[in-house]
Amino acid sequence: MNHTTRPSPAQRLARAHYGELARIGKVLSSPVRLQLLDLLRQGSRNVESLAEAAGVAVASSSQHRQQMRSARLVAAERQGQRVEYRLADEGVSAVFGALRVLAEALLPEMDRLGRELAVQPPEVREELLSRIRRGEVLLLDVRPVEEYRAGHLPGARCIPLPELPARLPELPRDREVVAYCRGPYCYMAGEAVALLRAAGYRASHLDLGVPDLRALRFPLSPGDGEPPPTSPPRPPPRPRSSPNPKSPRKNR
């Protein structure tokens, strides 16, 4: 005969915390919501920008945002006529990074994805980071401008990937170019390197994004408005000199 005892109040409270953890686990169970969280790791976004970057409809994005807000992973703030969404806490970004590391350790499919996206081994990353610290390469940030504005590697030039083919002449040919984007499984830096090499540049990619570098305590530039120009601005035209009507005429 099965005898069950009624749980004590303390036992019920202890069990209840699993339900709270499950609220976050439910949010993390959706590939679309994980993608939205990863985009928000790059910086805050408004509704339209977030949906466009994720490649989903605004209405679908809205449903996912509501669930993320319900679990307190995402916060919203009105900026003028628009609402900006951001991660509610830096711990959300840390959980995302830990989840990716766990998947890499346990799931064989991550190995295939890593090979196809040229995810680098730790020793290659560290060697490249050392060269970046020494200023031996030209850094190229190929993310959208709003992500660059939210934070970037010091001295990096901002040329979003869609603009790169037309703006290649802005890059010097006497230095190696290192492109970076959102992180190890982002395709943009790899495509940028392919474009650069096809055009005759020495190029490689750093497969760490700003959130990964922040977790490593690597020096970063905070958001600072407009990206720096890639070439010196032209000086404004000098005003033409005009005769002073009040000056006396010379006698002939």
Residues 6+ apart with CB under 8 A from 235: none
User: Cβ-count burial of 154 within 10 angstroms (0-12 exposed, 13-18 middle, 19+ buried)?
Assistant: exposed
Q: Is 181 a catalytic residue?
A: yes
User: Cβ-count burial of 140 within 10 angstroms (0-12 exposed, 13-18 middle, 19+ buried)?
Assistant: buried
Of 15, 5, 74, 8, the C-alpha closest to 46 is 74
Give the residues across from 180 on adjacent strands.
141, 206
Q: Out of 181, 192, 208, 210, which one is annotated catalytic?
A: 181
In this structure, are strands 177-180 and 138-141 parallel, antiparallel, or unpaired?
parallel
Q: Which one-letter DSSP state was computed for residue 73?
A: S
Token pair 């030209």 in the structure block, residue: 138
As a whole number of angstroms, the distance between CA 234 and CA 247 comes to 34
Taking phi over 0 as left and psi of -120 to 50 as alpha, with beta for the rest, 141 belongs to: beta
Of 80, 50, 79, the C-alpha closest to 63 is 50
56: enclosing H helix or E strand: none
In this structure, are strands 221-222 and 203-206 parallel, antiparallel, or unpaired?
unpaired
Report whether 73 contacts 27 (CB < 8 A).
Answer: yes
Residues annotated as catalytic (active site), given as ranges? 181
